[in-house]
Amino acid sequence: MRNIEGAYGTNQNWLATYGETTPFWAARACGVAAATNVLLQEERVTERQAAVRMGAVFRQMKPKWWGMPSMHSWLRHMQKLAHSQGCRLHMSKPHHTDERALRQFIEYSLARGQFVVVLHWWHPIKMLRYHWVTITASNERGLTISSWGKRYTFTWEEWFRRSFHAKYVGLKLIDIL
């Protein structure tokens, strides 16, 4: 994941910090932050530049007052955003949701250069409840995510054995020739 002035991915609070929206809407924009992580891919940008890009994404996929709880809606917006950047979006989804299949899906997607975006509806780890995150790395010890502009690492046991009601998608932007 690219380094944005010391951050690890985007931070949805930057939307309010840089005047792109109000704190109320920024608090509901985790799906916007995950989308921006994918759209920026490996670009090196300043925090301010990332906030401006997030603001543009926010205006295209503005969440409801309860956030953006639909993977289908989020993906539809991502297709439009990728097309507006002159790219197409390669997507893959897991066929099974048991621990072994999800781990294989995540590792395969990351190995192919995809970001894995996860929407949690419920998780016993409070920071993951009703929250979109971007999985950026995986190894035998666990996986690493980007959330709120920070890097978090969870063991596989913490993540899967305690994970409930989540949707996963692997995403990669591909330039249109």
Segment 39-72, tens digit of pLDDT:
888 788 999 999 999 999 999 999 999 888 888 8
Checking if the pLDDT of 176 tops 50, the result is: no
Q: Which of helix, strand or coil describes residue 144? A: strand
The model's pTM is 0.89
Contact (Cβ atoms closer than 8 angstroms) between residue 170 and residue 114:
yes
Instruction: Indicate the pLDDT class of residue 122, thresholds 50, 70 and 90.
Output: confident
Q: Where are the extended beta strands (E) located within 3-149?
A: 3-4, 7-8, 87-92, 115-122, 131-139, 142-147
Q: Mutual orientation of helices 71-84 and 47-60 as an angle, nearest 10°?
A: 120
pLDDT of residue 151: 93
CB 94 within 8 A of CB 115: no
- Say if CB 55 and CB 12 are below 8 A apart: no
State residue 118's pLDDT score. Answer: 87
Q: Which tokens hold the place of 102?
A: 């999800």
Contact 99, 156 (CB under 8 A): yes
How high is the pLDDT of residue 166?
65
- Return the DSSP state at 160: I
Q: Which has more confidence, 52 or 164? A: 52
